[in-house]
Structures are given as structure tokens and as C-alpha cells.
């Protein structure tokens, strides 16, 4: 898409670095309100469209996709879930999200699919996305006329803009462009990872199952009624060669408990990978004319299914602030962006950290701490108040 034409572009209102969910969603939120942007992405379109990542959309994320009209396939193919199950030592109970939150659900729809839909919308609507932009660099961010440069097909591109949105993920160039003295970071790296497997078999349950087992955490998730996504807690240095599919299925059957095991359909994996778990926040999310959003500014462990949804809430706040600026010339909302976004981010960080602690085996999980985990899960099972707390965090706190 848009290759020769867009490399000639020289001026836009908002330059967006990164074509992940944050960047692509921000572009459409701005477009429907008449603000121009260009997305610069270092990878190819095929690479971006095939990355397997998150799978659960909060109601607020679904609402944003509805609002920008990039929702037809999600509404057709997405699976609405009104609850999920928690398992501890084969004792399983359901958290009825819909009932506990007064009617809220989550939508199971892969990040891969959402990304494809947003790229297709960009193509149809003519909002430029430049893939394979190498060596993206930010310039003049602390002045009045910032600009971005890159290389593509042996040519130098240069884009002057009013603002830069750094939506380029944890390893991107945007956060690194901010002087260290102006940024405070908070971090926790967990001493384990998630071994993920994708297989074209029907899920073992119609909803997700999160399991605390003495051998470690397990999660049964899905992408559709015929495609399953499973995870096992595993050491970060795990050798995938030691984990042939049969061993993974056997381990999932043990950790997820007998009811799930009885319904589990096994099949060849079509993807297998290990991802690390990290909590990370960089403050503030603004440096002069650069605004960070999504993984560029923060990371959560995936246990709460919050990473993608936080990217969406950030760009919702950022688009509102940019639209207020273009509407009235006032920078008040832009000045408030970082504080507003961080208030919601820290609560999602807390929930993701807590849910990880409740369900995983840590190197220092001795017999006493495991009893504490089991007692807490048992309390949640029996207490509606505790379940409401879990449910309202899981479906997503308000976008206020």
C-alpha cells in the first residue's frame, strides 16, 4: 500500500511511530474527526499482520472500534464472553462478569485480526501507513516544528508535523529519544515466562480458564470456535525443543484440571513461543511535542489481558486531547494527557501484578505462600464482593 506516494509526503498534523494497535487505532480516531496523520512502521505489513499476541478486548476497546467503524468483522467473528473460570487444585469456579458488573462483557478477538482490520481501513480510507521505514529518527521535539526522518527503498523520507505520537512499543525509538533525566521508570521483571501454543482444535471450554497449579500457572484461551490458544508458565530459558506438542498437552491437562482435560482436543501446534513477563511504567508520557502511548510507555504481565486494552485507552485519551487542541487551540487537554492516562495505567498495572501473584508459582513460593494463594482463591469463590472487584478490573475500568 501507499509506498511511492507516501514517501513523498512532507507535512502532516500528527506523525505516528509504530503500526501496532496503538498507532493504527490513533490514526483512525484522528481520521474520523478530520485530523491528518501518517504512520511510520519499521516492519513489513506481512510481519505486522502475522504477530500473535493478545486475545481479549475490553468493552471500552470494542466501543472504540465501533466508534471508528472498524467493527464489521469483529462483530461477526468475535466471541462475546460473559465470564471466565478460575481453577485451584482442581477446584473450579466461574466469575460471572456480566452479572457482577451490571452487564459488561469482554470480546475474544485476536490482536492479529484487529490489526488486519485497522490496516485494511487505513488502505480504504487513504490514511497513510508507511511500512518498512528504516532508521526512524525524531528531531526538534522540544521546538515548534518537530520532524521525523527515515529511509525506505534507498530514499530518505522527511515529515514535518505538529506532534509526534510514540506508539512504537517497548523497544521503540520514541521513549529512547527522551533524555533519561526527564523520565522516571518503574520496573519489575518476573522470574518466569509463558510458553504459548496455538492449535486448530476447538477450545476445551466456551470461556477462558486461568489455573493455579502447584506445578505452575496455565491458561486456556481461544481465537475462535475452532482455534485454541493455551499458555503454560515456564522458565524463561526453557528450550522449546524439550517441549514437543504432546508434552505441552499433557502438562496443560494436569494444570487445568480434570474437567478441562476431559474436553481438551489435541492437535499439532501452528505456533509455539515463549514470552517474558514484566511490569514497567515510564513517567511522564509526554516530552514537549512527543506523546507516548501503549507499550512504548508501559508493560503489564499478560495475566490480566490488559496490554492491548491499555494501548487502546491511551490513544483514546490522546486523540481527545489532540482533537481539543485542533478544535480550540487550547493545550490544556494535551497538558493533562500524561496524568490522565497514568491514573488508569497504574490501576491496570496493579491488577495485572496482583493476578499474576495470585496464580503463578514463584521461586520463593513455599508451602505457606501457596496456602495463602489457595485461601485467597477460595475467598474469591465464596465472596461476591471479592468477585465484583475481580470482575470490574477484568472487564476494564472506565475510560474517564
Residues that bind ligand PHB (CB under 6 A): 54-56, 208, 221, 229, 302-303, 305
Q: Least distance to ligand RFL from the beta carbon of 52, Å?
A: 7
The three-state secondary structure class of 102 is: coil
**Binding partner selected for residue 43 from ligand PHB, ligand RFL, none, CB under the kind-specific 5 to 8 Å limit:** ligand RFL
- Considering only residues 70, 87, 173, 277, which one is a binding residue for ligand RFL as defined by CB under 6 A? 173
Encoded one letter per residue, x for contact with ligand RFL by CB under 6 A and - for no contact, window 130-169 reads: ---x--x------------------------------xxx
- Residue 19 site contact among ligand RFL, ligand PHB, none (CB < 5 to 8 Å, cut-off depends on kind): ligand RFL
Q: Which residues are catalytic?
A: 81, 210, 302, 306, 394
Residue whose CB is less far from ligand RFL, 251 or 295: 295
Q: What is the largest CA-CA distance in the chain?
A: 64
Q: Which is nearer to ligand RFL, 169 or 203 (CB)?
A: 169
303 binds, options ligand PHB, ligand RFL, none, Cβ within 5 to 8 A by partner type: ligand PHB
The least distance separating ligand PHB from the CB of residue 166, rounded to whole angstroms, comes to 24
Strand ranges (E), the chain: 14-17, 37-40, 56-58, 79-81, 84-88, 91-95, 106-108, 129-130, 134-139, 147-152, 155-160, 163-166, 184-199, 208-212, 218-224, 227-234, 269-283, 286-287, 290-292, 298-299
Cβ atoms of 132 and 43 closer than 8 Å: yes
Report CA-CA distances (Å) from 383 to 7, 351, 360, 376, 379.
58, 18, 22, 10, 6
Q: Treating both helix axes as pointing N-terminal to C-terminal, what angle do 307-328 and 59-67 enclose, rounded to 10 degrees?
A: 40
Which residues ranging from 237 to 276 are in contact with ligand RFL (CB under 6 A)?
275
Q: Give 88 or 133: the residue with its C-beta nearer to ligand RFL.
A: 133
Number of H-type helices and E-type strands within the chain: 14, 20
Q: Which is nearer to ligand PHB, 41 or 58 (CB)?
A: 58
Comparing CB distances to ligand RFL, the nearer of 56 and 104 is: 56
Rounded least distance, CB 124 to ligand RFL, Å: 20
Q: Using CB under 6 A, pick the residue from 19, 74, 195, 292 that binds ligand RFL.
A: 19
The C-alpha cell at 333 is 487537554
Closest to 368 measured CA to CA, from 52, 376, 335? 376
* Residue 302 CA: distances (Å) to CA of 6, 183, 396: 35, 24, 14
Instruction: Give residues in contact with ligand RFL (CB under 6 A).
Output: 17-23, 40-43, 48, 53-54, 111, 133, 136, 167-169, 171-173, 275, 294-295, 302, 305-308, 311
Amino acid at each position: 500500500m501507499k509506498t511511492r506516494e507516501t514517501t513523498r509526503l512532507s507535512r502532516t498534523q500528527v506523525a505516528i511511530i509504530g503500526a501496532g494497535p496503538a498507532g493504527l487505532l490513533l490514526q483512525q480516531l484522528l481520521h474520523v474527526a478530520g485530523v491528518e496523520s501518517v504512520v511510520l512502521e519499521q516492519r513489513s505489513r506481512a510481519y505486522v499482520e502475522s504477530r500473535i499476541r493478545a486475545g481479549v478486548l475490553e468493552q471500552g476497546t470494542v466501543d472504540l472500534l465501533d466508534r471508528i467503524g472498524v467493527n464489521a468483522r469483529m462483530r461477526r467473528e468475535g466471541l462475546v464472553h460473559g465470564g471466565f473460570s478460575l481453577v485451584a487444585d482442581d477446584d473450579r469456579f466461574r466469575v460471572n462478569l456480566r452479572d457482577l458488573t451490571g452487564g459488561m462483557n469482554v470480546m475474544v478477538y485476536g490482536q492479529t485480526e484487529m490489526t488486519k482490520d485497522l490496516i485494511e481501513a487505513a488502505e480504504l480510507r487513504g490514511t497513510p501507513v508507511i511500512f518498512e521505514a528504516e532508521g526512524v529518527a525524531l528531531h526538534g521535539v522540544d521546538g515548534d516544528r518537530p520532524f521525523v526522518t527515515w529511509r525506505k527503498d534507498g530514499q530518505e523520507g522527511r515529515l514535518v508535523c505538529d506532534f509526534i505520537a510514540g506508539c512504537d512499543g517497548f523497544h521503540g525509538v520514541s521513549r529512547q529519544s527522551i533524555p533519561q533525566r526527564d523520565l522516571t521508570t518503574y520496573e519489575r521483571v518476573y522470574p518466569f515466562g509463558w510458553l504459548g501454543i496455538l492449535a486448530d482444535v476447538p477450545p476445551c471450554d466456551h470461556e477462558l480458564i486461568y489455573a493455579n497449579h502447584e506445578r505452575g500457572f496455565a491458561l486456556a484461551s481461544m481465537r475462535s470456535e475452532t482455534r485454541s490458544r493455551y499458555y503454560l508458565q515456564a522458565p524463561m530459558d526453557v528450550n522449546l525443543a524439550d517441549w514437543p506438542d504432546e508434552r505441552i498437552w499433557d502438562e496443560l491437562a494436569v494444570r487445568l484440571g480434570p474437567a478441562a482435560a476431559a474436553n481438551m482436543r489435541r492437535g499439532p501446534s501452528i505456533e509455539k513461543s515463549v514470552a517474558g513477563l514484566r511490569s514497567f511504567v515510564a513517567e511522564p508520557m509526554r516530552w514537549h511535542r512527543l506523546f507516548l502511548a501503549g507499550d512504548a510507555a508501559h508493560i503489564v504481565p499478560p495475566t490480566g489481558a490488559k496490554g492491548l486494552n491499555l494501548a487502546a485507552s491511551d490513544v483514546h485519551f490522546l486523540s481527545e486531547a489532540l482533537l481539543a487542541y485542533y478544535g480550540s487551540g487550547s493545550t490544556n487537554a494535551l497538558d493533562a494527557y500524561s496524568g490522565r492516562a497514568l491514573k488508569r495505567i497504574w490501576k491496570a498495572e496493579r491488577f495485572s501484578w496482583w493476578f499474576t501473584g495470585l496464580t503463578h508459582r514463584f521461586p520463593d513460593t513455599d508451602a505457606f505462600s501457596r496456602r495463602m494463594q489457595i485461601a485467597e482463591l477460595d475467598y474469591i469463590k465464596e465472596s461476591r464482593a471479592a468477585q465484583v472487584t475481580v470482575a470490574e478490573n477484568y472487564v476494564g475500568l472506565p475510560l474517564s
